[in-house]
């Protein structure tokens, strides 16, 4: 059974701190990879945690091994631009992952 996880990924040794996100090596490949995970419903939401070297992902998966395996295929994982640091099961108790009517 799939459940929600909060996943923290951090910048790796190959991250060039003088460059913005979109100018890091293989940005296009990374963005395409992550967009595909979102389209298939594996990644529910994600983005940088402002002022930190970290990214938060909300993922729907069967377990930690599934997450590690899927994220290892990210071009940025193989180049040590991003490392998966923490994976924790997450229970949504407030709000919704569904879009709200405005």
Burial call 46-74: b when 16+ CB within 10 Å, e when fewer: eeeeeeeeebebbbbbeeeeebeebbeeb
Specify the pLDDT at position 27.
97
What pLDDT is stored for residue 102 in this prediction?
52
Average pLDDT of each block of 10 consecutive residues along the chain (102 residues)?
96 96 96 97 95 97 97 97 97 81 52
User: In this structure, are residues 24 and 15 in contact, taking their beta carbons and an 8 Å threshold?
Assistant: yes
- Given this model, what pLDDT does residue 98 score? 74
List domains and CATH numbers for the chain: 3-89 (3.30.70.1060)
Give the closest residue to 26 by CA, choosing from 63, 76, 88.
76
């Amino acid at each position: 059974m799939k459940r929600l996880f909060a996943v923290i990924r951090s910048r790796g040794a190959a991250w060039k701190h003088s460059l913005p996100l979109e100018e890091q090596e293989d940005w296009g490949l990374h963005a395409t990879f992550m967009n595909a995970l979102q389209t298939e419903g594996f990644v529910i939401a994600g983005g940088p945690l402002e002022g930190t070297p970290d990214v938060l992902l909300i993922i729907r998966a069967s377990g930690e091994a599934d997450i590690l395996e899927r994220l290892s295929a990210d071009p940025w994982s193989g180049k040590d631009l991003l490392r998966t640091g923490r994976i924790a099961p997450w229970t949504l108790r407030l709000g919704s992952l569904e879009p709200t009517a405005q």
